[in-house]
Amino acid sequence: MTDTTAPILQRTDGAVAGNRPWRTRLRRLQPGLALAWLVVAVVLAWSIAPDLFTSYSPVDGVAGQQLRPPGAEHWLGTDGLGRDLYARIVHGARHSLTGAVVAVTVGLLLGTTLGLIAGARGGWLDAAVMRLVDTLLAIPSLLLSLSIIVLLGFGTINVAVAVGVVSVARFARLARSEVVRVRRSEYVEAAFGSGGSFIAVLWRHILPNSLTSVIALAALQFGSAILALSTLGFLGYGAPPPTPEWGLLIAEGRNYLSRAWWLTAAPGVVVVVAVLAADRISTSIGRTEP
C-alpha cells in the first residue's frame, strides 16, 4: 500500500488537469507561468549582480537609521543595526540559490542514478536500492538533515548537502517508477521487437520518456530546498550572522517582533514567492508532457 509510485507530498496537482487538451491548459497557465519565470529571473539576477539592485551594504548598518519602517528611502525598512532590509534580501539570494542548486544537484544526480539502475536492472539490485530508499523515507526529513549536519558540521554548503541527501529517496523512487512504467509500455517492447539493443532502447526511449517527470520533480525540489534551507538557517545551522541568509533574516527579525513587523514579514514573503514560483514551473513541466 505504501508503494505509491508518485512522490507523495507533491506540491502540485498535474493529474486533475491530465485529461484536458494541453493547448487549453497551456493558455490558461500562461500568466501565472510567466510570472513564475519572472520571479526566478529576478532572484537569479539578485544573486549574480546584487549591486545592480541596491546601493546599500548588506552588512554595514548606518547609525541613526535603526528600525526605520518601509518607505521611499529604505523600501523594506531597516533592522536593529540600521541595515537596509531590501539590500540584505537581495544579497541573501545568492546564499539561498546556491544552497538550493547544490541540494537539487545532489538529490538529482544520486537519486536519479540509483532509481535508473534499480528500475533498469531489476532483481536483487532493485530490491536493495529500494530498501535503502525506504529507510531514507522512514526518517523524518528534518531529523535526517540534522543527523547529516551533525556529521558534516554547520555552514551553507553542508546544510545544502544535507537537504540534498534527504531528497535522494524521492528522486530515486520517482526515477525508478518512471523507468518501470516506460519499460512496460508497448512502444518499448516494439523497439526491442524491431531489433533494438538494450542500450539503444534505453537511450532512445526509456531515458527521454522517464526524465520529464524527474525534471518536474527537480523544479519542485528546488522550491522545497529553499524552504528547508531557510528552516535550517532559522534554526541556526546555516551560515553564521551577519550573512544575509533568508532564514537567518527571519530569525533575527524575531527579536523585534513587537516593534518592526517588516523584518520578519518581508523575507518570509520573498521565500514564499520563490517557492510558489518553483512550484508553478514544476507543474508546467509536468503538464506539457504528452
Contacts to other proteins from residues 156-185, by CB under 8 A: 185
Q: Phi-psi region for residue 123, left (φ > 0), alpha (ψ -120 to 50) or beta?
A: left
Subset of residues 184 to 203 that bind other proteins, contact rule: CB under 8 A: 185-187, 189-197, 200
Subset of residues 208 to 227 that bind other proteins, contact rule: CB under 8 A: 208-209, 223, 227
Residue 69 lies near other proteins (rule: CB under 8 A): no
Subset of residues 228 to 287 that bind other proteins, contact rule: CB under 8 A: 230-231, 234-235, 237, 247, 250-251, 253-254, 257-258, 261, 264-265, 268, 271-272, 275-276, 279
CA separation, residue 282 to residues 12, 187, 216 (Å): 8, 26, 5
Say how far apart CA 29 and CA 251 lie, in whole Å. 35
Residue 13 lies near other proteins (rule: CB under 8 A): yes
Provide, rounded to whole angstroms, the least separation between the CB of residue 63 and other proteins.
27
Nearer to other proteins, 64 or 195 (CB): 195
Nearer to other proteins, 161 or 271 (CB): 271
User: Minimal CA–CA distance to 25: which of 288, 267, 234, 202?
Assistant: 288
Say which residues have a Cβ less than 8 Å from residue 123's Cβ, sequence separation at least 6: none
**Other Cβ atoms closer than 10 A to 126:** 17
Residue 149 lies near other proteins (rule: CB under 8 A): yes
Interface characters, 18-57, with other proteins (x: CB under 8 A):
-xxx-xx--xx-----------------------------
- In degrees, to the nearest 5, what angle opens at C-alpha 178 toward C-alphas 219 and 164? 40
Say how far apart CA 191 and CA 207 lie, in whole Å. 13
Nearer to other proteins, 81 or 276 (CB): 276
Interface characters, 120-139, with other proteins (x: CB under 8 A):
-----------xx-xx-xxx
User: Minimal CA–CA distance to 177: which of 133, 220, 145?
Assistant: 133
User: Minimal CA–CA distance to 162: which of 170, 154, 171, 174?
Assistant: 154
Instruction: Tell me, by CB under 8 A, how many residues bind other proteins.
Output: 77
